[in-house]
Every structure is written in C-alpha cells, then in structure tokens.
Amino acid sequence: MGLFDSIREMLGTRAEADAASDADPEDLFGMSTAYITMATELGYSSTGDAALCFSGVDSTDFADAVREVEDILHAGSEETGTDFDLREDDHGYQWVVLHDDDPEDLVTSIHFAADTFIERDYGSRLLAAVFGFSNDDRTAYWIYSFRRGAYYPFVPRSGQERDDALEFKLESNLDGELDIENDKQYWYPLWPSSRGTHPWE
C-alpha cells in the first residue's frame, strides 16, 4: 500500500469505521469566528482560498449532482463574487476550489456545496473541507474531516515535514471554538503536489 493509499484510507473508509461523531455541515460555520481568532491572536489571515475535497463516482447521477453544485455556486457568485473551479489532483481526489477575499463568503459557499452533495445522497463521498491561512512566511490550514465530524490543523514545511509545534499552538488557541479531533492519528496530511502550492494543486 502506497503513501497516498494510506492517506485515503485514513481520510475515507477507516475514518468512517472509526467515526467519533456524525459529520454535520453546520460545523463549517465555526470557521466564521475562527478566521477572526486566527488573525487577531495568531497573526494568520485568510489566503482567500478554501476547498471541498470529495471522492467521485463514475455515474450519471453523480455527474448531475456535481453540475447542481456548480449551478448553486454560479448563482451565489453573482451575489458574493466568489470564484470557483473544479479540479482533480495528482492523487485522484476531486476538489471544488473557491476564491474570495471575504472569509464569510468562503464558509457559506463551502457549506452550500457540501449540503448539496448530502441532499443528493452523496454525503458519504465528502472527505474534507480545507481553509487556507498565511502570515509573512508560513501557510497553515484548518481541515474539517467529514468522516470524523471534526477539525484539525495542518502546517506543512519543506520536504514533506510538518510544523508540529505550530499545529499544537493552533489547536490550543482554537480549542472550544472549533470541534477539534482529539485523536491525532487522524490529523493526516494533505500534501500538495509541489512545493509552494495548496493541497488541491
């Protein structure tokens, strides 16, 4: 089993089997206040990016569900100005990637997309929602695992290493504001394909 197969297992079937609580798209709204805490207490502002990661199904009905998500986001973009695109990364994950300078709009759009998949009975295909933050020299992410119903921090460093100290600091500052995953074996990394890019690139 390869590295990314192992990550998929933790992100998907293993996490589902060991689920601590049911995922709830309403949990995503916790990020609305977390953005403020990240900026005021930690000096990390939104990158203007967020993404919804899911595992596709080769079926006409699932393709229709994806088109419905696109239609909803198109309609919403006329009011919020949120840009989005759909893509597949090098590891086989599919992503709805959103761009907006207003963090509130990113949270709302991610919620709409996730809720649409759930209403179409494809909630089991949802893997993670990812929210990007940065300061002068570091990018950090908060990741919501749909299979675990909880958030965890991910701070990549060069050479596919993690900044454990900063991840624990983020956990300490946001604990109570976000429902954070207690079992750190589920703080799995979502490595980007190349250095200096986001996990969905």
Whole-number pLDDT of residue 22: 56
How far from chain centre, in Å, is Cα 108?
13
| C-alpha span between 103 and 34 (Å, rounded) | 10
How sure is the predictor about 98, in pLDDT bands with cuts at 50, 70 and 90? very high
* Domains with residue ranges and CATH for the chain: 3-186 (3.30.70)
In the chain, the percentage of residues whose pLDDT exceeds 90 is 69
Tens-place pLDDT, residues 153-168: 999 987 788 999 999 9
CA distances 15 to 21, 94, 134, 165, 200, Å, are 11, 18, 28, 24, 20
pLDDT in tens, 113-139: 999 999 999 999 999 999 999 998 889
The C-alpha atoms of residue 87 and residue 201 are separated, in whole angstroms, by: 8
Q: Does pLDDT of 196 surpass 60?
A: yes
pLDDT given at position 101:
95
